[in-house]
Structure 1
Amino acid sequence: MVNRFILNEVSYFGPGARKELPAVIASRGWKKALVVTDKGLMKFGVAKMVLDVLDGADIAYEVFDDVKPNPTVSNVTAGIEACKNAEADFIIAIGGGSSMDTAKGIGVVVTNPEFADIVSLEGVAPTKNKCLPIVALPTTAGTAAETTINYVIIDEKRQQKMVCVDPNDIPAVAIVDAELMYSLPKGLTAATGMDAMTHAIEGLITKAAWEMSDMFELKAIEMIHKYLPIAVNDPTNPEGRNGMAVAQYIAGMAFSNVGLGVDHGMAHPMSALHDVPHGVACAILLPTVMRFNMEVSVPKYVQIAKVVGVYKDGMTDQEAAEAACNAIEELSKLVGIPQHLSELGITEADIPALAEQAFTDVCTPGNPREVSKEDIIALYHKIL
């Protein structure tokens, strides 16, 4: 079997790393940026921390800040027009997964105009050209979109999330600066952090996992378990914020190359149909999905138990696996993740439509245990 691993051309890490931007841009000869971000990051001064660096180096740019929390086809289409009108030759994406996913959609279509309808990008699209160069600066520690070949766009007509997988969309440069995350609210810190944990665990047990991806995912699980409570409870603590910033990137390096599973398959329609934040959707499902997958994942769960410190001498493998599930559930509760779908406004009547989309989601086939639509319905019911 041949395993493929795709990463950014270069990445920078550490508080203040955004100051590398002028040298990065100059070294590549880029002339003008389209800055893709959202109005909240503009309002609260987070985007300004990056724009000040650009201004200080006299780098030309225009801002597109109409990114939605769950970006849509029309959202990306508007961004494409903004990019063309700006005559930008590269993109700077500032934000969480929504900004970066929007930037990827823009960048891919600008260099592959035959996909201008956006919906044709769903799944593994046969694009021919690398997207317009993207410099990605995450402001959340969760999606790892700055290092993945995936992006998610909502098709408003079908009310469905399109998962797009394309090696041509990976940002050329990732700048992971924890200082951009210091003002992230407690709830969003928790949700995005548990999204990163979901990436790491699903990436560890997915069908395509192998030795290299396992190495990254286990380290990410260890770091997230250690640093997420610090980042949630002490938001300006550099150790917690930088630890999470690096951990979510490590998780992304691996899952981008090996895929995910039914947790993400079930989370996507929760966002598309009920506007549930993606991180919350993943997190609320995670302990239940872990237990569903236990019968085929015990050896991997033993490894999780060891890296999060709940493995005890004399434990059987089954006991260790159960301890791993319990540890992740306790972490979810500790950082304040809701525990029931009803808390999110989802009712029993909503489950059939959710299950229909989850079963056909591009992430679901990667699940280590075969899953039927009836299994998915039962999983939703368990956390209703």
Structure 2
Amino acid sequence: MKRIPGHPAAYVGRGSAERLGDALAQLHVKRLLVVHGRTSYERSGAHRFITALSGRHEVEHFDGVQPNPGIEQIRAGITTMRRFGPEAVIGIGGGSSLDVAKAIAVLAEQRRSPEDCLRHPEVITEVRRCALVLMPTTAGSGSEMTQFATVYVEGRKRSLDVDQARADLALIDQDLTESLPLGDSVSTGLDALAQSIESYWSVAATPASQTLALDALGRLLPALALAADTGVFSDPRVRTELAHGASLAGAAINISRTTAAHALSYDLTLRLGLAHGTAVALHLPWLLERHARLTDPDCRHPQGSAAVRDAVADIENIAHTQAGRGVRQLTEQLLALAGRPTGIEQLALPADRWLAPMTAALASGRAANNPCVLTVADLLPLLTE
């Protein structure tokens, strides 16, 4: 078991989940609200660790978290928080469950409505009073490492981004990912890969975030290549490296934030039902190619376009060295393995439906963090007439 840098108390490795009981004892908490989905909680085996606590703790469940949580789930969770009054919130599951746990732990204390808090983060003035513990059952969202959570309000993606949404303790145990279905393994693995790449070239990147991103790539790329070649994610080496690499990627984006691949992905998820990691991965190849030919007039990176081109070269060199192939080839192999579209052109996105939301995405904060200024001209090749 190892401590992940970039977080005050994040531990990765087989057996990490077994530390939960001792950790709660150190936090001196008895009333626990466990936030999770209906299937992953049982399938992953995480329920065993909560059952073991029942004799010493009062446990309430907020279950049934759905992918891409909407404001209705947050309102329901806040109602449960205020009724039960937990001393600790434990989020278990993929990114959606962890995001819901973070959101309700923070927003239940606020005087303003959750909608107001998500639209106007400056009104978040009250301090989270309960402890927050996160245990991922996927290797890819990075939510266990970050201070932000995604919530959809009236069909629009909103981000909670405050320091108190960061967990007091994160326990990353690869054994909890063993039962993850193939499609989910591919999607979450590609999400982690995209986070690493985007963090590395981000306008807001720092030496610390770039070190984390490179460390993540060094673990993710060979593991994803092995999975692509064997057609399975069950190899213990794959699970171990993906769990570790995904958490490093999460630590990296907590500093740098993500960029255009994420900004452009949310509407694909919301409107087409594509898994988040799949939607992000479909944008990676063309963005890498666009950034590889970036010139100063289209560059917003503080170090200039040459630094961005060098970053792309670094990424591709690591991919060829560690995975034996470029990012595009690896991404397409994994998407094909999961039975997903391997290129964004296969979605046949009609311009009259998609140009407006994609253009709006380019005006978002995540897109503003992208080193290359993207325009409608960059989007048109992705769309059909």
TM-score if structure 1 supplies the norm length?
A: 0.87
- Name the SS for the 1:34 alignment partner: strand
Whole-Å separation in 2 of the counterparts to 1:16 and 1:194? 25
Partner of 1:360: 363
Matches within 5 A, 1:181-260: 181-231=177-227, 233-260=231-258
1:65-101, Cα deviation, whole Å (9 max, x unpaired):
1211010001111011112222211110001110011
2: CA distance, partners of 1:366 / 1:379: 22
Structure 2 CA distance, aligned partners of 1:272 and 1:16? 36
How far is 1:298 from its partner? Answer: 1.5
CA contact (8 A) 1:142 1:193 kept: yes
Q: Measure how far apart 1:344 and its partner are.
A: 5.3
For residue 150 of structure 1, report the CA deviation from its aligned partner.
1.5
- 2:318 maps to which of 292, 307, 318: 307
Structure 2: where are the runs of 5+ without partners? 295-304
Deviations 1:236-266 (A, max 9, x none): 3222101100101101111111122111110
Tell me: CA distance 1:125–1:269, structure 2 relative to 1, closer, same or farther (3 Å).
farther
| Contact 1:189 1:231 (8 Å CA) reproduced | no
Q: Deviations over 1:117-162 (max 9, x none)?
A: 334324754533443321100011111100111111001x2x1111
Whether the 8 Å CA contact 1:123–1:163 is kept in 2: the answer is no
Task: Output the CA distance in 2 between the equivalents of 1:7 and 1:379.
Answer: 38
Cα deviation code 1:270-329 (max 9, x no counterpart): 223333211110011111111122223221122223323349xxxxxxxxxxx99x7111
2: distance between equivalents of 1:264 and 1:174? 24
Provide closer, same or farther for how the CA distance between residues 125 and 152 of structure 1 changes in structure 2, counting only shifts above 3 A: farther
Could you tell me how far 1:61 is from its partner in structure 2? 1.1
1:148 counterpart residue number: 146
Alignment of 1:171-182 (within 5 A): 171-182=167-178
1:316 paired residue number: none
What residue is the counterpart of 2:298 in the other structure?
none
Match of 2:77 in 1: 79
Return closer, same or farther for 1:277/1:331 CA change in 2, 3 Å cut-off: same
1:280-319 matches, cutoff 5 A: 280-294=278-292, 295=294, 296=305, 297-310=308-321
1:371 to 350, 359, 374: 374
Q: 1:116 aligns with which of 88, 113, 129?
A: 113
2-structure distance, mates of 1:362, 1:283: 19
Q: CA separation in 1, counterparts of 2:147 and 2:275? A: 21
Deviation at 1:167, TM superposition (A): 1.3
Residue type matched to 2:149 in 1? Y
Separation in 1, partners of 2:177, 2:69: 21
- Residues 181-207 of structure 1 show CA distances to partners (whole Å, capped at 9, x for unaligned) of 000011110111010011000000011
CA distance in 2, matches of 1:364, 1:379: 18
Task: Note closer, same or farther for the CA distance 1:117–1:274 as it changes in structure 2 (3 Å cut).
Answer: same
Equivalent residue letter for 1:38: G
Of 154, 160, 178 in structure 1, the residue corresponding to residue 156 of structure 2 is 160
Partner of 2:269: 271
What SS class does the counterpart of residue 175 from structure 1 fall into? strand
Taking the aligned partners of 2:149 and 2:122, their CA distance within structure 1 comes to: 12
Q: Partner of 1:333 in structure 2?
A: 332
Specify the alignment match of 2:382 in structure 1: 380
> Equivalent residue of 2:371, what SS?
coil
Please state how far the C-alpha of 1:54 moved relative to its aligned partner: 2.4
In structure 2, do the counterparts of structure 1 residues 120 and 129 end up closer, same or farther at CA, with 3 Å as the change threshold? closer
Distance 2:382 2:99 in 1: 27
**Closer/same/farther in 2, CA of residues 7 and 53 from structure 1, 3 Å limit:** farther
Unaligned runs of 5+ in 1: 1-5, 312-322
TM-score, normalization: structure 2? 0.86
CA distance in 1, matches of 2:363, 2:23: 40
| One-letter identity of the residue aligned with 1:100 | L
Cα distance change on mapping 1:274 and 1:219 into 2, 3 Å: same
Q: Residue in 2 aligned with 1:59?
A: 57
Q: CA RMSD in A?
A: 2.5
Q: Give the number of aligned pairs.
A: 361
- How far is 1:369 from its partner? 1.0
State the partner residue of 2:86: 88
The amino acid across from 1:120 in the alignment is: C
Tell me how far apart the structure 2 counterparts of residues 183 and 200 of structure 1 sit (CA, whole Å): 24
Q: Determine helix, strand or coil for the equivalent of 1:208.
A: coil
Residues 47 and 123 (structure 1), Cα distance of their counterparts in 2 relative to 1, 3 Å cut? farther
**Structure 2 counterpart of 1:251, which letter?**
A
Q: 1:290 to 1:122 in 2, by over 3 A?
A: farther
Q: 1:123 to 1:206 in 2, by over 3 A?
A: farther
